[in-house]
Structures are given as C-alpha cells and as structure tokens.
Amino acid sequence: MAKQEDLFKNVVSHAKEYGFIFPSSEIYDGLSAVYDYAQNGVELKKNIREYWWKAMVQMHDNIVGLDAAILMHPTTWKASGHVDAFNDPLIDNKDSKKRYRADVLIEDYAEKLQQKAQKEIDKARERFGDSFDEQQFITTNQRVVEYLAKKKIILERMAKSLDSGDLDDVKALIEELEIACPESGSRNWTDVKQFNLMFGTKLGASAENAMDLYLRPETAQGIFVNFLNVQKSGRMKIPFGIAQTGKAFRNEIVARQFIFRMREFEQMEMQFFVRPGEEMKWYEFWKDTRLKWHLSLGLGDKNYRFHDHEKLAHYANAAADIEFNFPFGFKELEGIHSRTDFDLKAHEQYSGKKLQYFDPETNSNYVPYVVETSVGLDRMFLAVFSNSLTEETLEDGSSRTVLRLPSVLAPTKATVLPLVKKDGLPELSQQIMDELKWDFKVSYDEKDAVGRRYRRQDALGTPFCITVDHQSLEDQTVTIRHRDTMKQDRVKISELRSIIDQEVSMRTWLLKTV
C-alpha cells in the first residue's frame, strides 16, 4: 500500500514538475479539486479527446457530433431527475471531521473482500499450475465462496437501502461492518444525509429577475434536448448516435484523488438511439466496442475489468463500468448505461413537445431507447499518465524516468537536438523542425549535454529524439532515438516524416480497435 501511495505521489509531482497539471489558482493556495492543464497536459488531453472523437464519430457513419452549451434551461434538470435525485449519501466522522461518501466506504469494504478472494485464487493458481480450474475453485473453495457471498450480500443491501432512501440502514450497515474512518480510525459517525451535487448559478442582471440555473452536471442532457433537431437536420436513421465532449460540474463531497474526482471536469459521451427492445443487443455491442478502444492503447489488458451495477440509477435498466487499475486500485473509468426511454420521455412530458421518431421500416412512431457510453477525459488522462510513468534501472546501473505514453497520445512527437550549438547545426535543426511541424507537434532543445536532453524528453514522453551532428551537414542523415528501447538508427532526413507517422498516426492505433 505504501508503495502505491508513493507511486501516486510521484504521479502528482511529475505532472507538476513537467508542465502537465497545476493546481488551479495556485498563487492563492489553489481551489480544492480544481486543476489546470499546463503546456504538455493540454496536448495530451487534446490527443485523448481526438482519439476518442475519431473512434466514435469519424469511424462510425451513423454517429455525429454536437457541442451543446454548458448552461441549459433549468427545467432540463427537473426532467432529468437531477434536481430531485442527483444526490450522494454523505457521512462525517465526528473525530477527524472528515467527510465521506457512505456508499464509497461500503464499496471499499466490499472491494477488500474481493481482494481477499483474489489472493486465495492467485495462491491456488500458483500451487496447481496448468491444471488450475479457476471457475471450479471459485465455486468450491470455502473461503472464496464466503468472501464473495458476503460481498454480494453487503452490496445488495446497500443498493436496496439507497434505492428506498433508507439512510438509517446505510448507517447501520457501516456500523455493523465496523468500518472505521481511514483518517482517525474511529467509528464515531454522524447520520447519513443526502447532498445534491449540482452547482447553482444565476442568469440575469437584477437580483429580483434573476433566473436560477445550474452548471450542467453531465453533458448527456444537451444531447437529449437536441435529439430531434439532429435527427431531422441530419436525416439520421435509427440506430444512430450523437457524441459530445465538454465540461461538467459536480460539487463532489469527497475530492481527494487528484484529477480522479474533480469539481469541474470533462466528459466524452455518446448517446446511441435504438429501437425499443433492441437496447440489450446494443448495450453489449458498446461494452465490447468501448473495451476494445481502451485496450488499443496498450496499457495492459489486466488493468481493465467490467463491474456490473447492482444499484441501477433511476434512468437505467442495465449498467456497467469499465474499471481501471489506478494507483489507488480498480475504479470507474467509463460508464455504459442502458438508459431506456427515460430521458426523452421525461423531456416530452416537461416540455410538452414530442420527441419521437418515425421508423419507416416498422411504419410506426416511438420514443427511442438510449444506450450511453460516458468516459471522463480527466480520468482517462490519469489512467494513461499514471500507467505510463516508470522508473527504469539501466544496464550501467543508472536509472531513468520514462513516461511510456502511447505514442499516439504523446504531447510532443519528436524533438530536434543539435549535437552542439554551433557549426550550422542549430540552423539545420531548425530546418528539420520547420518541415516536420506541418504534420506533428515537435520541439527543439539545444541546452545541456545530449544525454541530459534525452532524459528530459523521456520524462515528457516524447517518442523520438532526432539528433543533428556534423555528419548530417555532409550526407543529410540524422540519428533517431526511440524513447522506449533507446535504440538509435541513422536515417535520411527525408525519411523522418514517414518514420514518425508510421508510429504515431491515429490510423496505426485505431486499426487495433477493429
């Protein structure tokens, strides 16, 4: 655990030191759970967004984009259920004065049971080797059966109590499980209360006439209210999707995990409109498709798992998370939800406008069902960044910090380094940069010994270093160094563009998603 905490601290400090992420308004001591993306962070974030957009919009001819406003008519949030039901159950520890989400305390407890079961499974696998039958072991080993059964009972009881609004039982569960405050170790808890997560704001000049608004807590509603506009103007035929990336705001109760849980964050969402009755087929399709997208980045297949929801949100008839193995354990990265016709029907009811589709194949009108895929851009950033940050010991005993970012996402694709700052090498380097910058984000560095410059680019995650030396002046060749292998090749300047392109192009990486 201590190791994991160190790793996480490294992630936060590396992000700051190398210009990826700064605390917001840091000169005023920052603002809790709000962060700014710096010069390298903004590039990495943009590349993740683009990788998602290309996979979702460009590669699917039945998905189109949208950029709806953050501010929406306030009735939107009545209809969506956010005014009445967008609450988290909070609980305070009276000794540490720390506030927690009651459901998260219970889920963390359940996760520990899962980990205990996993430990038994791993031990048995080691003992039995190739002949190990995991499924049989899970269903017959007494300890594993008990751990998993207990986990199930706990989660089901929590889901039931939250669903019925029985907050006393949520507290009773915390007490029965003897869950202690991670900070103080005490079990001196307050009652559980509901807390609405929406940020309120006002529209209008004078206090009397001002209209109460909310900053959107999810981007999805901008898609729903535009469903018919897009369908008609785009002549879209069901099934079709609308994709959107943009800011969302939540007044999170607990915000202690860097950019994992922010109060202002960015979502990448796609709502897929389908025929009623076909939603389960599409739900499975999108679970599969989205997992492939994640796996294409090569962060390790074992770092992902599905978590099917026990407690369904008020709008869903099926829901699963894609969880990622963050430095603090497996947590939600993306949600895939079968939202039924809840949202469109609710907007019909509150607006008095029909939001129906005429299906020429069935010759009937209906309110479509919706399957949603929703991934946090900042969480994606954290997954990619934390997984890529590695400390390596080299053959000569020295160590290097290398940010092994998937090269398609790297903020800078190549940096050009003149071996010395004279003899025309900076000028030739500049020429190379001027040529490459049409296609790639490239940088230039002439300060310090070349070895140190390599290390700096390793820490920034730059896939290629191009070194210009005296031979370059004579035969128009340079060395190109690969970040991960540190292998250096002598190549023609005229070949650089295609070498880099082959490695970093979206095409190369997206081909792995199909």
Taking the least distance from each CB to ligand ATP, the nearer of 214 and 454 is 214
Q: Helix, strand, or coil here: 275?
A: coil
**Closest alpha carbon to 21 in 330, 304, 322, 386:** 386
What does each C-alpha distance from 40 to 18, 25, 269 come to in angstroms? 8, 18, 24
Segment interacting with ligand ATP (CB under 6 A) among 143-151, 368-376, 440-448, 470-478: 368-376
According to the binding rule CB under 6 A, does residue 378 interact with ligand ATP?
Answer: yes
Q: Which of residues 181-220 bind ligand ATP (CB under 6 A)?
A: 218
Shortest Cβ 155–ligand ATP spacing (Å): 14
According to the binding rule CB under 6 A, does residue 381 interact with ligand ATP?
Answer: no
According to the binding rule CB under 6 A, does residue 374 interact with ligand ATP?
Answer: yes
Segment interacting with ligand ATP (CB under 6 A) among 36-44, 54-62, 260-268, 300-308: 260-268
Position among 45, 290, 294, 379 found at the interface with ligand ATP (CB under 6 A): 379
Alpha helices in 275-415 (DSSP H): 279-295, 342-351, 377-388
In 170-263, DSSP assigns E strands to 193-196, 200-203, 211-214, 240-249
Position among 261, 275, 290, 483 found at the interface with ligand ATP (CB under 6 A): 261
According to the binding rule CB under 6 A, does residue 268 interact with ligand ATP?
Answer: no
Determine contact, residues 90/98, Cβ cutoff 8 Å: no
Taking the least distance from each CB to ligand ATP, the nearer of 315 and 357 is 315
Position among 267, 271, 386, 472 found at the interface with ligand ATP (CB under 6 A): 267
**Closest alpha carbon to 244 in 281, 213, 216:** 216
Q: Which of residues 3-32 bind ligand ATP (CB under 6 A)?
A: none
**Closest alpha carbon to 509 in 408, 382, 399, 416:** 408
Shortest Cβ 69–ligand ATP spacing (Å): 19
Shortest Cβ 322–ligand ATP spacing (Å): 8
Taking the least distance from each CB to ligand ATP, the nearer of 241 and 335 is 335
Taking the least distance from each CB to ligand ATP, the nearer of 322 and 408 is 322
Determine contact, residues 332/213, Cβ cutoff 8 Å: no
Quick one: how far is CA 437 from the chain centroid? 29
Alpha helices in 241-354 (DSSP H): 279-295, 342-351
Q: Helix, strand, or coil here: 388?
A: helix
342 burial type by CB count under 10 A (0-12 exposed, 13-18 middle, 19+ buried) = buried
According to the binding rule CB under 6 A, does residue 376 interact with ligand ATP?
Answer: yes
Residues 122 and 134: their CA atoms lie apart, in Å, by: 9
According to the binding rule CB under 6 A, does residue 501 interact with ligand ATP?
Answer: no
Position among 171, 250, 275, 294 found at the interface with ligand ATP (CB under 6 A): 250
According to the binding rule CB under 6 A, does residue 252 interact with ligand ATP?
Answer: yes
According to the binding rule CB under 6 A, does residue 223 interact with ligand ATP?
Answer: no
**Residue count, binding to ligand ATP (CB under 6 A):** 16
Site string for ligand ATP, 306-335 (x = CB under 6 A): --------------------------xxxx
Quick one: three-class SS letters along 49-72?
HHHHHHHHHHCCCCEEECCCCCEC
Question: Interface with ligand ATP by CB under 6 A: which residues?
Answer: 218, 250, 252, 261-262, 265, 267, 332-335, 374-376, 378-379
